Structure 1
Amino acid sequence: MVTKQKLARWFSAVLLASTVLVAEGAYTGPDSGGGYRAPVSGDGTTTVAAILKNPHDDMRVVLKGNLVRKIKHETYMFNDGTGEITADIDDNDFPPQPVNANTKVEIIGEVDVNRISGVEIDVKSLRIISP
C-alpha cells in the first residue's frame, strides 16, 4: 500500500525531473550590467525611427533588427538600423536558441511611454529570423 508520504516524495521527484528538462534560451550578446497603429511597411513592420518620432502608449508594433546589448535583467537595447529603443523582454519569451548581437530577430509588442523611463517596447513575442 502506498502511503501519502511516499506518494508526496514520488510527485516531488517527478516535478523536479520535469523542470530540469525544460530548456530556456537566453541572450548571449554584449552585457552592460489604444487603437493607434504605427506606420507599417508591406510586411507589417514599423521602424524605431517612426515610433520615436510619434510614440503612442500601447500601440502594437512589429520590429525587425538586433538586440545589440543587455542593459539589465530583462531589458535590452534594440536596433533596427533606423534607431535604438529599449526593449523589455521577459526571460521566458526568448526562444530555446541563443540570441546575441548578430542574431536578427523580430519582436512584437506594445509601445510603453513613460515620463521617467522614456519610450520602450514591452515585448510580447520574440522570434529569430536569422542566426
Structure 2
Amino acid sequence: MKRILIATAFAVAAATAYAQYTGPSAIPAATVKSLQQDGKDDQQAVLRGKIVSNVGHERYLFSDGTGQMQVKIKASRWPAQKAVDASTTVELRGEYDKELIGESHFDVKEIRLP
C-alpha cells in the first residue's frame, strides 16, 4: 500500500510539472521583419506564426507573414503531448541572436500552442 501511495505522489508531482502560466507577459510581441530590421542582440521577444520546415540540426524555418527567419529549437523545448507541423500556429518565446557575420536567428526557449 505504501508503494502505491508513493507512486501516486510521484505521478501527481510529474503532472503538475507541466503546468504553465498562460496569462499576459512583459516580453513584447515582435515580427520577423521588426527583429531583422531593428532587433538587438539577445533581445527577448515573442513570435507568432508557423514553423514551415526543418533546415538542419535543431534549426527550422519560421514564417509569420512578415518574413522568414531561422529558429533554433532544442529537442527538450518541443511540446510533449502535441505534434507540430507546417500548418500549426505556434507562439515562440526566446531571444534574437543578431550575428555580425553570418545569419541571425531566434533562439527558442519555449513553444506554446495557442
Q: TM-score, normalised by structure 2?
A: 0.72
SS at 2:104's partner residue?
A: strand
Alpha carbons of structure 1 residues 90 and 119: separation in structure 2 relative to 1, 3 Å: same
1:1-131 equivalence runs, <5 A:
44-96=28-80, 97-129=82-114
C-alpha separation in 2, matches of 1:127 and 1:73: 21
Q: Which has the larger radius of gyration?
A: 1
Structure 2: 5+ residue runs without aligned partners? 1-26
Q: In 1, are the aligned partners of 2:28 and 2:44 still within 8 Å (CA)?
A: no
CA-CA distance at 1:87 after TM superposition: 0.3
CA distances 1:93-119 after superposition (whole Å, capped 9, x unpaired): 000211100000000000101233321
CA distances 1:31-71 after superposition (whole Å, capped 9, x unpaired): xxxxxxxxxxxx94111110011121000010100000000
Structure 1: 5+ residue runs without aligned partners? 1-42
Percent of aligned pairs sharing the same letter:
36
Q: In 2, are the aligned partners of 1:55 and 1:119 still within 8 Å (CA)?
A: no
